[in-house]
């Protein structure tokens, strides 16, 4: 493969290229479903779900009427099997990464944990992490605006795709479902043996990249907004800083720092009943009582970290109006 010398193999190499994980980045992560998370779930008709065990990393979509997934209590989430495209992926003890969307809102709710109970028609997810993800992926993909397909078949779908749900996991089943977004024609490029996609600025946790270095395998679903089909790709992965691989992903004169390749013998076009049920692109206004900036601020306040650094960071971001200004400025300056 091109650029063997620029393949990343260690966390040190990752941080040298993409920067170290900021110390304060986890302050927005809580370990339970608070009132804000429960309100988000009540408004969400759509989720992307990653499941992992020692052998496999899978990804699927869950969708139905808003509130199809609900909190059993602060530490457990109920997810109906009937809402999932591929319910067989969820097995007892699997690691879980979930991404919940609310129509019209750019930010997304991420819930990570494990399958505590897979018996019956409803999964019980033990919650380990809950946090709001920045809006950059949905902004770059213009997710809430339906699109036309460039042409029929897998090739046309890939060319038109603007959003990707990327599933990764480490060796102890910490599982991540990462949103990726780009304009059509720049999200995923085919090569002989698979697809490639760029790593864009995001929440800077780099969970998926770290997972892929530890366990070089991933599953991905590619979406064309407005369509109830997906392309599924699954296989071994490699991460590269090769300039020749990065240049085709240039947007607004900005080069991505890294490109990931998924080696897959085939990209499969599938119907998604979950997307068809969720109807996420029906024109409705976002709920007036959901304010992402307020959720970010509340979660920072709820974080259990102590020490002067944590107290200062909490003070700086805990005012929703200031948090909104900070988010808007970040989205404008650091979208690419």
pLDDT-derived band at 60, boundaries 50, 70, 90: very high
Element (H, E) at 325: helix 320-333
Cα torsion 203, 205, 206, 211: sign: negative
Q: At what angle do helices 292-302 and 320-333 cross, to 10 degrees?
A: 110
- pLDDT (average), residues 289-309: 78
Task: Give the pLDDT confidence of 147-166 residue by residue, as tens digits.
Answer: 989 888 999 999 999 999 99
- The encoded tokens of residue 229 equal 């089909």
pLDDT for the residue numbered 186: 96
pLDDT for the residue numbered 2: 47
Tell me the chain's radius of gyration from C-alpha atoms: 19
Task: Give the pLDDT confidence of 253-279 residue by residue, as tens digits.
Answer: 999 999 999 998 789 999 999 999 999
* 3 state SS of 317: helix
pLDDT for the residue numbered 74: 97
pLDDT for the residue numbered 5: 60
pLDDT for the residue numbered 46: 98
CA distance 178 to 292: 18
Q: Are the CB atoms for 134 and 330 separated by under 8 Å?
A: yes
The overall average pLDDT reported for the chain is 91
- pLDDT (average), residues 90-105: 97
284, pLDDT greater than 50: yes
pTM as predicted: 0.94
Q: Where are the beta strands (DSSP E) in the chain?
A: 46-52, 57-63, 70-73, 76-80, 95-101, 108-117, 122-133, 163-169, 175-181, 189-191, 194-199, 217-223, 229-240, 258-263, 268-271
pLDDT-derived band at 318, boundaries 50, 70, 90: low
38, pLDDT greater than 90: yes
122-133: strand order across its sheet: 57-63, 46-52, 95-101, 108-117, 122-133, 76-80, 70-73
Neighbour-count burial for 1-18, b at 16+ CB within 10 Å, e otherwise: eebeebebeeeeebeebb
Q: Are the CB atoms for 221 and 59 separated by under 8 Å?
A: yes
Neighbour-count burial for 291-330, b at 16+ CB within 10 Å, e otherwise: bbbbbbbbbbebbeeeeeebeebbeebbebeebbeebeee
CA distance 206 to 21: 7
pLDDT for the residue numbered 311: 53
What domains can be seen in the chain, in order of their start residue?
A: 4-333 (2.30.110.10)
pLDDT-derived band at 221, boundaries 50, 70, 90: very high
pLDDT for the residue numbered 308: 46
pLDDT-derived band at 4, boundaries 50, 70, 90: low
Contacts of 115 (CB under 8 A, 6+ apart): 51, 90, 91, 92, 93, 94, 96, 123, 124, 125, 126
pLDDT for the residue numbered 99: 98
Task: Give the pLDDT confidence of 305-316 residue by residue, as tens digits.
Answer: 655 445 555 555
Range in 14-23, 55-64, 142-151, 238-247 with the lowest mean pLDDT: 14-23
Most trustworthy range by pLDDT among 269-273, 285-289, 297-301, 330-334:
269-273
72 burial via Cβ count (<10 Å: 0-12, 13-18, 19+): middle
């Amino acid at each position: 493969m091109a650029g063997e010398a620029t393949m990343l193999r260690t966390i040190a190499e990752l941080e040298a290229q993409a920067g170290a994980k900021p110390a304060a980045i986890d302050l927005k992560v809580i370990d339970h479903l608070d009132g804000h998370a429960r309100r988000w779930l009540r408004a969400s008709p759509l989720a992307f779900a990653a499941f992992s065990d020692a052998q496999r990393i899978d990804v699927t979509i869950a969708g139905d009427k808003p509130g199809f997934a609900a909190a059993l209590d602060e530490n457990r989430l109920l997810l109906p099997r009937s809402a999932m495209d591929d319910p067989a992926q969820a097995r007892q003890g699997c690691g879980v990464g979930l991404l919940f969307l609310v129509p019209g809102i750019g930010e997304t709710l991420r819930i990570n944990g494990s399958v505590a109970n897979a018996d019956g028609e409803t999964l019980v997810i033990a919650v380990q992490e809950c946090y709001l993800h920045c809006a950059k992926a949905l902004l770059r993909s213009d997710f809430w605006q339906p699109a036309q397909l460039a042409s029929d078949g897998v090739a046309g779908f890939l060319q038109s795709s603007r959003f990707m749900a990327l599933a990764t996991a480490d060796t102890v089943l910490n599982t991540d479902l990462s949103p990726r977004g780009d304009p059509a024609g720049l999200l995923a490029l085919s090569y002989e043996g698979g697809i490639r996609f760029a790593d864009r600025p995001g929440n800077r946790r780099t969970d998926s990249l770290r997972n892929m270095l530890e366990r070089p395998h991933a599953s991905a679903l590619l979406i064309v907004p407005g369509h109830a089909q997906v392309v599924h790709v699954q296989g071994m992965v490699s991460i590269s800083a090769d300039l020749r691989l990065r240049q085709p992903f240039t947007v607004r004169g900005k080069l991505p720092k890294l490109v990931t390749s998924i080696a897959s013998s085939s990209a499969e076009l599938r119907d998604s009943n979950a997307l068809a049920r969720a109807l996420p692109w029906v024109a409705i206004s976002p709920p007036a009582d959901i304010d992402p900036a307020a959720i970010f601020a509340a979660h920072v306040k709820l974080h259990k970290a102590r020490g002067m650094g944590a107290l200062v960071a909490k003070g700086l971001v805990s005012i929703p109006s200031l948090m909104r200004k900070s988010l808007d400025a970040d989205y404008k300056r650091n979208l690419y």
